[in-house]
Amino acid sequence: MRPPTLRDVALQAGVHPATASRALNPETRGLVNEDTANRVIKVAKALGYRPNPIARSLKTARSATIGLLVPDLTNPLFPPIVRGVEQVLSPVGYSAWIVNTDNDLDRERSQVMSLRSRQVEGFIIATARLHHPLLEQLHAEGVPMVLVNRRLADGGVPSVTPDDAAGATMAVAHLTSLGHTRIAHLAGPQDTSTGVVRLRAYREALAAHGIEEDPALIATCASWTEQEGAVGLRQLLDSGADFTAVLGGNDMLALGCYDVLEERGLSCPQDLSVVGFNDVPFVDKLRPPLTSIHVPHQEMGAEAAHLLLDMLQNPGRHPRSVLLPPTIAVRQSTAPPRAHTP
């Protein structure tokens, strides 16, 4: 049996489909006599009527749906962000269409086009790079969008990100307070705001602590993965550079450090202190528990969703960006340096 349509409801209630539409839509219910409205509603319920959002979208060019672009759901940073987004959208009747780009720009482009043709009303984007033609174009076209976690070089695009500079500064301060002076950094990809800002803040924090910068202590990683973190640390160790602590650009890079320490028979924190960034789930249970810069993941997602909804409701209003303050979670991966370096 075909599911009932608006026409069925209207027929049954003895009104015109247009009237039934008005009665059933809270936005337009005021236009209709209260009694008829109630009658229609009752019939709709009796028939088990479910409005067809596809037909509605075709007519209205809206969809109560937003697109959520994530680089990689298997990175534990992102599921909590997704959850934050859903938590805000769902009470107002919106849904998120989640897509994984796998850090592939072509894939991302085709997914964005597909989402647009499905009439998503806006985007929440966790895949931003500093220069990102696709996203810049979307923004130029006036497509409502909010960046999360990472920003574009163009600060005019609204975003919700951790205060990366403050976080890196805290990390360095923590290490210096333990007595470290030779602090290395595994910088993330320099085509991302997080990679660039954290690196810059690391440098400035060293300077602020009167520590001279040593380029040999910086390795730049090509992606935010455990593998790349391992590559970076191996490179630093093999260069013969002398350091007692390392700041990972994020937790995945720090995880890669753990792998290298293991393979080299070094121990953390005795031989090397390690600090991560993001404090994603489970790093508190690693061996050893990872000291990391904590950022409120779920709140990032929730705040991004709020911003986007706000933009959808007030198309004129000037877009804001939000910087969320991090905190440091000190755990056993950091300790004072040994008298003799490794």
Under the rule (CB under 7 A), what is the footprint of DNA? Answer: 2, 5-7, 14-19, 21-22, 24-25, 28, 31-33, 35-37, 49, 51-52, 55-56, 58-61
Nearer to DNA, 32 or 252 (CB): 32
Q: Which of 5, 36, 119, 235 binds its own copies (CB under 8 A)?
A: 119
Least Å distance, CB 284 to its own copies, is 10
Least Å distance, CB 12 to DNA, is 12
Q: Which of 43, 67, 86, 149 binds its own copies (CB under 8 A)?
A: 86
Is 58 a binding residue for its own copies by CB under 8 A? The answer is yes
Nearer to DNA, 30 or 210 (CB): 30
Least Å distance, CB 198 to DNA, is 45
Q: Which of 36, 57, 181, 223 binds its own copies (CB under 8 A)?
A: 57
* Beta pairing partners, 184: 246
Residue type, position 4, single letter: P
Judged by CB under 8 A, the chain residues 228 through 267 that form the site for its own copies are 255, 258
Element (H, E) at 253: helix 251-264
Least Å distance, CB 124 to its own copies, is 14
Residue type, position 153, single letter: A
Question: Pick from DNA, its own copies, none: which does 320 bind, CB < 5 to 8 A by kind?
Answer: none
Nearer to DNA, 48 or 91 (CB): 48
Nearer to DNA, 49 or 224 (CB): 49
Q: Which of 4, 76, 319, 336 binds its own copies (CB under 8 A)?
A: 76
Residue type, position 262, single letter: E
Is 137 a binding residue for its own copies by CB under 8 A? The answer is no
Q: What are the structure tokens assigned to 269, written together?
A: 């924190």
Least Å distance, CB 92 to DNA, is 16
**Alpha-carbon distances of 290 from 58, 143, 209, 330, 333, rounded to whole Å:** 50, 39, 23, 8, 5
Least Å distance, CB 90 to DNA, is 20
Least Å distance, CB 191 to its own copies, is 24
Burial of residue 333, with CB atoms counted within 10 A of its CB: 0-12 exposed, 13-18 middle, 19 or more buried: buried
Contact 68, 78 (CB under 8 A): no
Judged by CB under 8 A, the chain residues 171 through 230 that form the site for its own copies are none
Contact 113, 67 (CB under 8 A): no
What is the Cα–Cα distance from 35 to 17, expressed in whole angstroms? Answer: 16
Measured N-to-C along each axis, helices 34-47 and 17-24 cross at an angle, to the nearest 10 degrees, of: 90
- Would you give the distance in Å from CA 240 to the centre of its chain? 36
What is the Cα–Cα distance from 333 to 290, expressed in whole angstroms? Answer: 5
Nearer to DNA, 31 or 113 (CB): 31
**Alpha-carbon distances of 184 from 15, 67, 124, 220, 256, rounded to whole Å:** 74, 38, 33, 11, 14
Least Å distance, CB 151 to DNA, is 33
Is 74 a binding residue for its own copies by CB under 8 A? The answer is yes
Contact 311, 90 (CB under 8 A): no
What is the Cα–Cα distance from 328 to 235, expressed in whole angstroms? Answer: 27
Least Å distance, CB 310 to DNA, is 21
Is 97 a binding residue for its own copies by CB under 8 A? The answer is yes
Nearer to DNA, 24 or 275 (CB): 24
Nearest to 122 by CA among 319, 297, 322, 295: 319
Nearest to 191 by CA among 130, 235, 115: 130
Residues lying near its own copies in the complex (CB under 8 A): 50-55, 57-58, 63, 73-74, 76, 79-80, 82-83, 86, 95, 97-100, 113-114, 116-119, 255, 258, 281-282, 285-289
